[in-house]
Amino acid sequence: MEKTMDLLPSVVVFLAAAHVIAVVYWIYRLASDRQPERKKVQ
């Protein structure tokens, strides 16, 4: 059980970091997709 309790915080941090990176990448993709559309409209 001790090994599991030591490993748990690392797993939580890893999952949190993965979600943050995924959200940032998703927002970056949306921003990069919207820019050409705005230029075409103008």
41: confidence class by pLDDT, cuts 50, 70, 90: low
**Rounded mean pLDDT of 29-42?**
71
Report the distance separating Cα 33 and Cα 36, nearest Å. 6
What count of other Cβ atoms lies within 10 Å of the Cβ of residue 39? 8
The better pLDDT of the pair 5, 39 is held by: 5
Report the distance separating Cα 38 and Cα 30, nearest Å. 12
Report the distance separating Cα 19 and Cα 11, nearest Å. 12
Report the distance separating Cα 2 and Cα 35, nearest Å. 51
Residue-wise pLDDT for 3-31, tens only, equals 888 899 999 999 999 999 999 999 999 99
pTM assigned to the model: 0.57
Report the distance separating Cα 8 and Cα 4, nearest Å. 6
